[in-house]
Homo-oligomer: A and B are copies of this chain.
Amino acid sequence: MILSNSVAHAHLDPEPVWCRDSRGTAYSFGQYLERIRTFHGHPAPGLIIAGKMVQTALDRLPRGILFNALCETDRCLPDAVQLLTPCTIGNGWMRILGFQKFALSLFDKTNGRGYRVWLDAGKLETWKAIRRWFFKTVPKKDQDPALLLHQIQEAGADILSVGEVLVAAPRFLSKKGIGRRRICPVCGEAFPADHGQRCLACQGHSPYAAASEHRPMGIRAIRTED
């Protein structure tokens, strides 16, 4: 009976919230890890921290505003934004900068005012495992993943800093339409007319091997109706 009471008690004791999405749904550390696994494939340390970063920014935004997101790296961070907010790379409400800085901003899309949250290297002194992982001072194979996970959970928001920002670059405040489409005279495909006479692929930027006799760009048309 004592055991079963203690189990019941444990069930009543709510697990601490690791992060909430913009609708207010709360995730414990374990639940968030499970969400990550489903979307991102593996519980990357950066993505776990990123969940806390998104939550930290969300907590400060005024309720009910329409906001955009800016990620200063393409590694991990953007997936936390996509999991916890309405901002995705495909709907244009999230943008990514190639700075490779572990920082993100959520900001009011009408005026650019918002909050930037970053993993603060100056706050890692007491969190040795996180420091080793972040600065790669020890080869990955010699790191202790369980200790890293434990320190991330213990540290929570203590390793983050947050500041007010004003997003000033107009391209982050509004979506630019792609404008009129025309047909590329080389590949026969549609592209934005303001890219020039040919599409960017046929201007020499194709990532494909130019190997096919049937179509440029290494593309061989085959039937879709099978």
Q: Chain A interface (Cβ within 8 Å of chain B)?
A: 39-42, 44, 47, 56, 70, 72-80, 82, 86, 88-93, 96-103, 105, 112, 116-122, 134-136, 157-158, 160-169, 172, 178, 180-181, 183, 188-192, 195, 199-201, 205, 207-209, 211-212, 215, 217-222, 224-225
Contact = CB atoms under 8 A, between A and B. Distances in A.
Contacts of A77: 90
Contact of A189 (B88, B89, B118, B178): B118
Nearest to A38: B86
Contacts of A172: 207
A163 B90 contact: no
A158 B224 contact: yes
B90 A220 contact: no
B56 A164 contact: no
A161 B224 contact: yes
A89 B99 contact: no
Nearest to A166: B209
Nearest to A177: B136
Given A136-B181, A166-B218, A208-B167, A201 B160 contact: no
Given A208-B116, A208-B167, A74 B99 contact: no
Contact of A199 (B101, B205, B218): B101
A222 to B, nearest CB: 6
Contacts of A119: 190
Given A172-B207, A222-B163, A224-B56, A201 B99 contact: yes
Given A79-B90, A88-B82, A90-B80, A181 B222 contact: no
Contacts of A134: 181, 190
